[in-house]
Every structure is written in C-alpha cells, then in structure tokens.
C-alpha cells in the first residue's frame, strides 16, 4: 500500500509518536536509507524528530552528523526541528554549547560566505535562466544579511546559550535536594593486576520533583545504571552523562520523579591509583622471609572516594555504609567497622562483610587488604556496643609489618591513654566499637583519621623506645594524638564544607597538646615554635584567611596547609586562653549538639 504524498509525513509522525520505541524508530531509519525519492526521505527524516524518546533523538543527532547519511545542508534544519520537540530542546542546546567551534566552522559565517560565492557563480553561469534579476538580487542580499547578522551576534548568541541553558551539572556542588541515606558496596580488588570491580546500591531521598540526579565518579567505567522507587518500580532513564569537568555522573530520567525515596544500582570497574589517592598498592619487604609483599589501602580525603565508587562525595552528604570486600584468602580485610562475617569462595577468594557503619562522610570510609599481623589491647572491657544483635567489646588493634610488631607497642599504649584522656576532656564517649591502627610503609600521607581505623605511615607511628630519639618520640606522639582528636572533631562532628577545614584541623592541632603535657613537660615549647613559624608563612603576600571559599578539588587540596592547621590553632588558642574552662565546656556542648551531623563556623 502506497500512501498519498500529502499525508505521508503526518502518518510517519503519528506512527512514531504512538509506538515511541526502538523497533518503530529502526524501521523508519531503514526506510529512510532505502528511500530514493529526496522528498520522501526528508518527510521520513523530519518525522523522526518528533519522537518523545530522548535516547532515540540522541541517536538521530549522532547519525545526522554523518554526511553520508544526512545531507549537510539539511543538518541545521534537522537540529531546529529536534529543538522544537520538548524532549529535544535540552539535547540541541547542549550540542550547541559543547560543539560551538565545530558548528561555526562547518555551518557558520565562513561556510555561508562560501555558499554565497557559489550562488553568485551559479547565477553568472546560468544568466539566461527563467528567474528574474530581481529574484537573484534578493537571494544574494538575503544571504549577505544573514552573514552580517552572524558576524555581529555570534559571540552574544554563544554567551546566551552558555549562560541561559539550564545544566545543573555545570555547578561544582551537588544539588541540595538529594540526600543519600545508605550505601551497600561490594568491591573486589585485584592486588596483582591493580584493578577492581564493584557494585553498589545507594538509598537516597529527593525532596522535590526532579528529572535528574547527580553523583560523583572519577575515572570509573560505569557498566550498569538503574534507578527504582522504594516499591521496586523502575524509573526510565533517558541518558547517563559523564561530566568529567566536575567529576559528575548525571542520570537523566524520561519524566520527572516525584519527591520520595529511591534506590540507585550501579556496577563499575576501575584501576588502582599510582599516587595513593583512592585505592593504591603499597610494597614492603618482609625481613623475616626475605620476600617482597603487597598491601592495598585507601585514602579518600578530601575528594577521592569518587575514584573507587560512585558517591555523593561532599562532607555534608553523610550516610551509613555497608561494605563487603572480596579478597585473596591468604590476606585479611579491614574497614571502619568490625567484621560481621567471612565466607570462603571459589578460586582462593574470601568474602569479608563488615557491620554497617554509623552515619559519616564519604572521605572517612577506609579499607585495607594485607597479611599483616597484629597486637591488641582491650579498652573498657565492660562497655558493649550492640549492632544487629551482636555484641563487641571496645578494642584497640595495631596492624603492622610482621617483623616490626614490637615497635607498635608504644603507639598502642599511647592510644589507650589518649582515648581515656579525650573522653574525659570532651565528656563525650568514643562512638565506635573499635579503633584500629594500620601502619603502612610509604603510605601517601603521614596519617589519616578514618573513623574507627586510623592509617599511618610507618615513620609516623613505629618507634623503638630503647633507641628512638626524644625528638622523634614527640613527633610520633603528636601525630597519634592529632588523629585521635579527629575521632571527635571531624568524624563525630564534620564541617559542612571544606571552607571550614580550619575548624577541624585547627582544633585537632590545639587539643592534641593537652594530654601530651603529662609525658612531655616542655611540649608547650613545640607549640610556640609551630605558631612562630606560621606567622612567617602568614606574612607572605600569598597568604589567605583561615576561612576561605574553596570549590574545585585542587582548591580543596590546597586548603590543607599551615594556615588551616597552625594559624587555625593559634586563633582558637587565644579563645581558649580567654575563656578558660568555659572553652572546654563549649567544645563539649558543641559535640553533643552536632553529634553525627555537620556544623559550620
């Protein structure tokens, strides 16, 4: 049956809009490629721009860029037709925004001038054609006017598109109407190939209707993305965009999702980092066995959790974490919470499942896989912590290189004493059922205060009390005390954003000296020297206030400097000197008021 030429386009449009699926679209595209009549081809092509499926519209836009399939002079008209489709407007504006230079080069003023010259040459060659000289002149004038308009307004139009097209992923910050509640993450790192695979579900809430969600990911290969409501109904995903400029994964829906609770399911893979940011492999030499071995460990502060699993990687986006690590059976996995179960798998693998964490920020999550041995001590044996009907004693573990365990004893003893001192000083108990210390050779930072499991570089923890110098003992003890203060300031109460980093680091730098005075009577001299040195740093022309706006990952990383640590400490020390014990009481009230939450200055 052949359609009447006057109704073909309407029939094509109606059929595509009603069917609105891959089968109908593919049928029409095949029909378009096989059609020889140029007018019929155009009817089919422009009918395909009316479909309400953004995935298929994007496919049409990609195919249209191929001149062997869509004639070049029809491209802009086709884009205009797609833009008239409510589902296609954002697609076209994004295309213009991201491909402006290419579009101007191929379809802009230079191309128009070339076209105008060709028209003039055609008219000269066909001077005896039936059209009038007036029509020819009008055609040339219209082309010239369009060229003039494009030359005059090109920059303005470009700025308008860049400034007025709503693309929320252009902002460096995550939208505040999305809040994660819980992560369930399974990771399988391969310490030999330095790669990992993972899958996760994220329970989250949205407080207003939205047709997109945005989370962080960096350098990950995302292989599965699904969104469902709490009833299990699948939310139709229109497209998944990796917006690398801001480390964003943008998931756009076909239609707006109402406020409520949802579940995001993801599968992904990635590689270990070579700079220690994210998950990394560290080499050490076992002096007892004369073997080179490997341990893997993470470091997520400040913006590196996104390199290991997609997440809402901002300090205010606190959530609970259920972590599972699949690893070689001859090694052990450690994380923030105690082990809940361990299950042997095939091929020499073991699955270690950890208890669900308390509510915390992404940068505080940690895991390590190693064959380290440990020493342990109990803290408050009668104090139990109940989760999932299981009871655990407060314990202190030190995981270290097998042949250097005796050098960890000093740090273990000090940590026990510091826990007691800080609990009494803050009048707030330590919150988790354990506190491990993992000591790693060549660890990327001196130490990191992950909640429930502090990671240290060997040079910042291991000492031989019989041979280590007095200066080295003080330096090690300062680092240990600093990280334990963070179990309250930074972990229990976290800054809302990194511009208040000074509050966490300044307080930790100040408070760490208080219990150390009982071991080192002249420790105040170390404090004074540190403050004196930072006054020199602060006098430089490139210094900055303790509170400063930071946005990008580089700006955030640069905030970890002497101004945040030492000047922040000096400012708070003046307040402490003025308020006396009221300062301590204020800190205690602050911790109790904002426990498991975020606070600003």
Please list the active-site residues: 483
Count of beta carbons in the 10 Å neighbourhood of residue 62: 9
Work out the widest C-alpha separation in the chain, in whole angstroms.
Answer: 108
Q: Give the CA angle between residues 364, 366, 369 to the nearest 5°.
A: 170
| Residue 394 annotated as lining a ligand binding site | no
Three-state SS at 199: strand
Among residues 398, 421, 588, 447, the alpha carbon closest in space to that of 516 is found at 421
Give the Å distances, CA to CA, from 222 to 185, 233, 243, 253, 267: 14, 22, 13, 17, 6
**For the chain, what percentages of helix, strand and coil (3-state, to nearest 5) are there?**
45, 25, 30
Three-state SS at 292: strand
Strand partners, 198: 187, 268
| Residue 486 annotated as lining a ligand binding site | yes
d(CA 479, CA 486): 11
CB 211 within 8 Å of CB 258:
no
- What secondary structure does DSSP assign to 391-454, as a single string? EEE-EEEEEE-GGGGGGGHHHHHHHHHHHHHHHHHHT----SSEEEEEEETT-SSSEE--TTEE
Three-state SS at 549: coil
Helix (H) or strand (E) holding 271, with range, is: strand 260-271
Count of beta carbons in the 10 Å neighbourhood of residue 125: 9
Instruction: Give the count of alpha carbons within 13 A of 344, CB side only.
Output: 5
d(CA 79, CA 498): 42
Query: How does strand 320-328 pair with strand 178-190?
Result: parallel
Three-state SS at 315: coil
Among residues 40, 52, 82, the alpha carbon closest in space to that of 64 is found at 82
Phi and psi at residue 236, to the nearest 5°: -65, 125
Give the Å distances, CA to CA, from 366 to 67, 231, 337, 451: 51, 32, 10, 8
Burial 431-447 (b: 16+ CB within 10 A, else e): bbbbbbbbbbbebbeeb
| Residue 505 annotated as lining a ligand binding site | yes
Residues 6+ apart with CB under 8 A from 595: 428, 431, 492, 493
Strand partners, 439: 456
> Could you tell me the strand order of the sheet in which 373-378 lies?
373-378, 395-400, 434-440, 453-457, 447-448
Angle formed by the axes of helices 75-83 and 54-64, nearest 10°: 170
CB 337 within 8 Å of CB 312:
no
Annotated binding site, which residues?
482, 486, 505
Annotated binding site for Zn(2+), which residues?
482, 486, 505
């Amino acid at each position: 049956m052949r359609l009447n030429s006057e109704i073909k386009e309407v029939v094509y449009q109606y059929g595509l809009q009603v069917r609105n699926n891959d089968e109908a679209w593919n049928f029409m595209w095949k029909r378009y490629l096989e059609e020889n009549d140029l007018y019929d081809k155009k009817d089919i092509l422009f009918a395909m721009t009316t479909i309400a499926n953004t995935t298929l519209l994007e496919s049409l836009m990609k195919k249209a860029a191929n001149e062997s399939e869509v004639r070049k002079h029809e491209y802009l008209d086709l884009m205009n037709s797609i833009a008239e489709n409510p589902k296609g407007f954002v697609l076209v504006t994004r295309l213009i925004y991201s491909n402006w230079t290419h579009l101007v080069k191929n379809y802009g003023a230079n191309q128009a001038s070339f076209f105008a010259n060709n028209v003039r040459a055609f008219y000269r060659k066909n001077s005896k054609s039936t059209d009038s000289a007036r029509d020819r002149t009008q055609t040339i004038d219209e082309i010239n006017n369009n060229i003039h308009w494009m030359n005059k307004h090109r920059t303005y139009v470009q700025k308008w598109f860049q400034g007025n097209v709503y693309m929320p992923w252009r902002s460096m910050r995550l939208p505040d109407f999305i809040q994660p509640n819980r992560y369930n993450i399974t990771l399988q790192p391969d310490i030999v190939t330095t790669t990992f695979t993972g899958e996760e579900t994220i329970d989250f809430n949205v407080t207003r209707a939205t047709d997109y969600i945005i989370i962080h990911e960096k350098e990950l290969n995302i292989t599965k993305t699904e969104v469902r409501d709490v009833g299990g109904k699948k939310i139709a995903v229109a497209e998944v965009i990796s917006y690398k400029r801001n480390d964003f994964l943008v998931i756009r829906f076909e239609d707006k999702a109402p406020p409520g609770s949802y579940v995001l399911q993801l599968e992904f893979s990635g590689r270990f980092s070579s700079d220690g940011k994210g998950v990394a492999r560290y080499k050490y030499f076992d002096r007892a066995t004369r073997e080179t071995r490997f341990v893997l460990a993470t470091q997520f502060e400040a913006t590196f959790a996104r390199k290991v699993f997609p997440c809402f990687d901002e300090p205010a986006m606190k959530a609970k974490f259920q972590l599972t690590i699949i690893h070689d059976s001859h090694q052990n996995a450690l994380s923030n919470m105690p082990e809940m179960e361990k299950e042997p798998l095939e091929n020499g693998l073991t699955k270690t499942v950890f208890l669900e964490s308390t509510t915390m920020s992404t940068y505080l999550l940690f895991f390590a896989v190693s064959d380290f041995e440990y020493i342990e001590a109990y803290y408050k044996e009668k104090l139990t912590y109940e989760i999932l009907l299981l009871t655990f004693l407060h314990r202190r573990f030190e995981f270290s290189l097998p042949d250097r365990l005796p050098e960890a004893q000093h740090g273990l003893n000090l940590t026990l004493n510091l826990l007691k001192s800080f609990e009494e000083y803050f009048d707030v108990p330590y919150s988790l059922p354990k506190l491990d210390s993992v000591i790693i050779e060549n660890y990327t930072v001196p130490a990191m205060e992950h909640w429930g499991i502090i990671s240290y570089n060997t040079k910042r923890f291991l000492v031989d009390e019989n041979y280590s110098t007095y200066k080295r003992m003080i330096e090690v003890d300062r680092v240990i005390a600093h990280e334990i203060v963070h179990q309250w300031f930074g972990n229990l109460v976290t800054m809302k954003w990194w511009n208040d980093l000074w509050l966490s680091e300044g307080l930790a730098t100040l408070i760490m000296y208080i219990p150390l005075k009982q071991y080192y009577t002249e420790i105040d001299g170390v404090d004074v020297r540190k403050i004196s040195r930072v006054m020199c740093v602060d006098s430089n022309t490139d210094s900055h206030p303790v509170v400063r706006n930071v946005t990008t990952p580089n700006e955030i990383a640069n905030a970890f400097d002497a101004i945040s640590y030492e000047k922040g400490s000096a400012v708070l020390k003046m307040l402490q000197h003025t308020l006396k014990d009221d300062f301590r009481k204020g800190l205690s009230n602050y911790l109790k008021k904002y426990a498991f939450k975020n606070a600003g200055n």
